[in-house]
Copies of this chain bind each other. A is one copy, B any other.
Amino acid sequence: MQIIEHRWPVRIYYEDTDMQGIVYYANYLKYLERARTEFLREKGFEQDQLIEQQAVAFAVRSVQMDYIKPAKFNDELIVATQVQQLKRVSLVFQQTIIRPADDNAIINSATIKVACLDAHSMKIKAIPTEMIEQLT
């Protein structure tokens, strides 16, 4: 499979920090999802339309995430996203959060497995063919 790389910027605000003065550990999952949403949008897929028109929804099945350096208030980060594995009913994203102003230091590295579901029954369903084609 070709390497599909997508980059999405994230700015850190007060809402993202905790009393240690750094980004709260759950919030990185938000940035990773914003980036996956924008990655799919760039490929031509809007998740609200997928739900309404094709009853296709995605659900995260597993997260493996390493916290390498802390991010701070006002940081400008980049989330790099690529599809690592693409199967009939699931796909695996490899995502890395970097801080360009810090010599591209890696802040966070994550592997996210996502399953394709029927938006009504929430049962597993094949990823739409046109998505398979766009992501391959």
A residues contacting B by CB (< 8 A) are 11, 13-15, 17-22, 24-27, 29-30, 33-34, 37, 46-48, 57, 59-67, 70, 72-74, 122
Contact = CB atoms under 8 A, between A and B. Distances in A.
A74 B48 contact: yes
A12 to B, nearest CB: 10
How many copies are assembled?
4
Nearest to A49: B74
Contact of A66 (B15, B19, B26, B61): B61
B34 A13 contact: yes
A14 B29 contact: no
A79 to B, nearest CB: 12
A15 B20 contact: no
A64 B63 contact: yes
